[in-house]
Amino acid sequence: MNPCVGIDIGWSSMYMFAEQKDGQLLERTVPTGRDCERTYILKEIHEFINKLGYTPAGVGVGVVGLVEDNERVKLSDMPALTGLRAEHITDGRIPVRLLNDVKAATMAEAVHYPDQRTIAVLLAGYGLAVGVVADGTLLQGARGWSGELGYTLVSTEVGTVKSLDHLAGEWAILDQAGVGQEEMFRRIDSQDEQAIAIIEQAGYYLGVAMTNVIHLYNPDVLIVGGSALAYKGYLEKGIAVAKEHTIPNLLEVCSIVRAQSEQSSIAQGAREYIRSYVMNRQSE
């Protein structure tokens, strides 16, 4: 069986990887963005697959949004992804399965903790989401849409509520700063007071999210990943807040760690999913 391709379509970038015919790993990362067009995404995927020199056995794609039956993106905050179907990725020529990004990351990260009973993976990208593996089973929910942590509402003042996505995610950081990612990095490096204050606030609400996840699921390990962790001080603030507000007994049994493959965990999980899918079909 030829190798499978793993793809992560995220808010700020799309990462793709697979082995080439000579066994070397081929990787490519391209910018995306909230207003990225679907034609651009599909064009980049097609060009990447064509460079492999062979027809892959399958393509696994992790996406931002609600995925229905691993075949269609029901809803996504990235307009280009809403309505995207698996058959669009390769025009139906190659088996494709779509998977929610946090579910894919959870599958990839959980393999590193085979002896732990409950594993939670919190992704802080443009928004926030959580995936949980309990006793070896990925928690899915009634339609496979569990884990939309970013839609949790938080009262910021009397009579006003905001979602964690709009308080702690990368979208919130860049929207409040009014600049792009690279410029925000530059301002943080130059110790710009406003930029640092924005990161402090976003990190605070990340800590609130982490605390809620620990209280809800009592995990052995809480794995934190996502593009927002690239902002200096963000995760550190989140951990400090979580340690301050989490019930001590729950905190004592929970290790808080960074994702082991932060850039590629979603793509890795998506590829593992399609690989298992293809193998199961061949054995039928």
Residue 18: the pLDDT is 96
Q: Which of 62-66, 118-122, 135-139, 157-161 has the highest mean pLDDT?
A: 118-122
Q: Give the residue-averaged pLDDT of 10-16.
A: 90
Segment (H or E) for 9: strand 5-9
Express each pLDDT in 48-74 by its tens digit: 999 998 999 999 999 988 998 889 999
Q: Burial-class residue 261 by CB neighbours within 10 Å (0-12, 13-18, 19+).
A: middle
Distance in angstroms (rounded) separating the CA atoms of residues 49 and 96: 13
Tokens of 151: 């839609």
Express each pLDDT in 219-255 by its tens digit: 999 999 988 999 999 999 999 999 999 999 999 999 9
Residues linked to residue 15 through DSSP beta bridges, in sequence order: 8, 29
In terms of pLDDT, which residue wins out, 284 or 104? 104
Reported as a pLDDT band with limits 50, 70 and 90, residue 111 is confident
CA 262 to chain centre: 9
> In the predicted model, what is the mean pLDDT of the chain?
93
Token look-up 């390769």 returns 90
Q: Give the residue-averaged pLDDT of 12-32.
A: 92
Q: What sign does the CA torsion over 164, 169, 171, 176 have?
A: positive
Pairing of strands 137-138, 153-157: unpaired
Residue 95: the pLDDT is 96
Alpha carbon distance, N-terminus to C-terminus of the chain:
15
Whether residue 136 has pLDDT greater than 90 = no
Express each pLDDT in 71-97 by its tens digit: 999 999 899 999 999 999 998 889 999
Whether residue 172 has pLDDT greater than 90 = yes
Q: Give the residue-averaged pLDDT of 192-198.
A: 98
**Nearest in space to 228 (alpha carbons), one of 156, 271, 177:** 177
The maximal CA–CA distance of the chain, rounded, in angstroms, is: 61
Helix (H, G, I), strand (E, B) or coil at 113: coil
Q: Which of 9-23, 98-112, 229-243 has the highest mean pLDDT?
A: 229-243
Residue 262: the pLDDT is 62
Q: Give the residue-averaged pLDDT of 27-40.
A: 94
Distance in angstroms (rounded) separating the CA atoms of residues 130 and 106: 8
